[in-house]
């Protein structure tokens, strides 16, 4: 590639041709110069730290004294002798397994409804999107704590029907569900992506189908859904990774503890507490690497299986 570009860039006759190296410099240096800030960040803040945290995950490190080599001790402890690790895994997987499909189902359902040529689409779309935009804020987590508290909004509604609700936040059986509902509440951004995807489906496919006598239901299963699978795939991956990384709601709603009885102990919250509460930086690094492996494995698995269910045009 390099030499091709070089030869095409010879100067007009009459002017002395620049040396070969001058050509190489002219052709490649600008790219690298423009990328310079990114390179500094990429090596200094991403690649370097990833490798360092891999190393730290095999050590005991308290930030004050030098890391002590520990071999695979951190990993062994994690999987054999750490009930909190097991609890946080359980909580996080339940959160991901319930919040992501439900959120996507809502997003798709509302998008389909809106895509019927509804009047006022921009208004509905904006209203449904608003929670997505605000939802990550600490302010919303505080509001959520209040809504599901013993004297909160939900129980006041229930009281109108003569039901005395529990404190949903401080009951370990329901606390995680308040967080799942908070995640579902933010279905707006995948909904917008679904809407954009729906608009890409050529209308004549539907016309042809209904001329052939296919009803709405059949059209949905035979045209809409298959044509939309790339968008479903994309949304599922993004939302799953986001769900694994979720931190703020569980931190605020549980007051940083992951309680009651570890019922909202998200994996990221456990990692944070190990690192910055107990200064077990080696162990926290090992936790981070396990998270990376889970996310990478999930992504790889999704891409590998995608050819069996994701429909591409070609």
Q: Token match 């951190």: residue?
A: 74
- Rounded least distance, CB 276 to other proteins, Å: 6
Rounded Cα distance, 1 and 27, in Å: 11
Q: Token match 């949905």: residue?
A: 220
- Rounded least distance, CB 73 to other proteins, Å: 17
Rounded Cα distance, 261 and 288, in Å: 23
**Residues listed for the chain:** 314
**Residues 6 or more apart whose Cβ sits within 8 Å of residue 185:** 131, 135
- Rounded least distance, CB 33 to other proteins, Å: 8
Q: Choose between 11 and 137: whose C-beta lies nearer to other proteins.
A: 137
| Cα dihedral across residues 273, 276, 282, 288: positive or negative | positive
Pairing of strands 59-60, 68-69: antiparallel
**Residues 6 or more apart whose Cβ sits within 8 Å of residue 111:** 191, 194, 195, 198
- Rounded least distance, CB 29 to other proteins, Å: 8
Q: Choose between 99 and 268: whose C-beta lies nearer to other proteins.
A: 268
Residue 232 tokens, joined: 């479903």
DSSP 68: E
- Rounded least distance, CB 210 to other proteins, Å: 5
- Rounded least distance, CB 211 to other proteins, Å: 7
């Amino acid at each position: 590639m390099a030499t091709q570009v070089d030869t095409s860039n010879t100067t007009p006759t009459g002017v002395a041709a620049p040396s070969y190296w001058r050509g190489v410099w002219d052709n490649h240096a600008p790219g690298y110069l423009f990328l310079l800030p990114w390179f500094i960040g990429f090596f200094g803040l991403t690649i370097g730290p990833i490798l360092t945290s891999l190393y730290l995950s095999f050590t005991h490190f308290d930030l004050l004294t030098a890391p002590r080599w520990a071999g695979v001790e951190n990993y062994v402890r994690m999987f054999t002798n750490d009930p909190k690790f097991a609890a946080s895994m359980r909580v996080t997987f339940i959160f991901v397994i319930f919040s992501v499909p439900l959120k996507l189902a809502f997003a798709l359902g509302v998008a389909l409804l809106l895509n019927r040529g509804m009047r006022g689409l921009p208004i509905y779309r904006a209203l449904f999107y608003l929670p997505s935009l605000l939802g990550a804020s600490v302010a919303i987590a505080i509001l959520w704590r209040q809504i599901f508290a013993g004297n909160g909004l939900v129980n006041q509604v229930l009281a109108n029907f003569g039901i005395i609700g529990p404190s949903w936040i401080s009951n370990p059986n329901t606390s995680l569900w308040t967080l799942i509902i908070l995640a579902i509440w933010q279905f707006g951004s995948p909904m917008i992506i679904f809407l954009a995807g729906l608009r890409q489906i050529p209308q004549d496919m539907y016309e042809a189908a209904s001329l052939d006598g296919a009803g709405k239901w059949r059209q949905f299963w035979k045209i809409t859904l298959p044509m939309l699978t790339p968008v479903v795939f994309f949304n599922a991956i993004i939302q799953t990774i986001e769900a694994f990384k979720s931190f703020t709601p569980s931190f605020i709603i549980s007051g940083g503890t992951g309680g009651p009885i570890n019922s909202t102990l998200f994996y990221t919250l456990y990692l944070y507490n190990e690192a910055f509460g107990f200064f077990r930086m080696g162990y926290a690094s090992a936790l981070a690497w396990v998270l990376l492996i889970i996310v990478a494995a999930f992504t790889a698995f999704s891409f590998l299986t995608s050819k069996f269910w994701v429909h591409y045009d070609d």
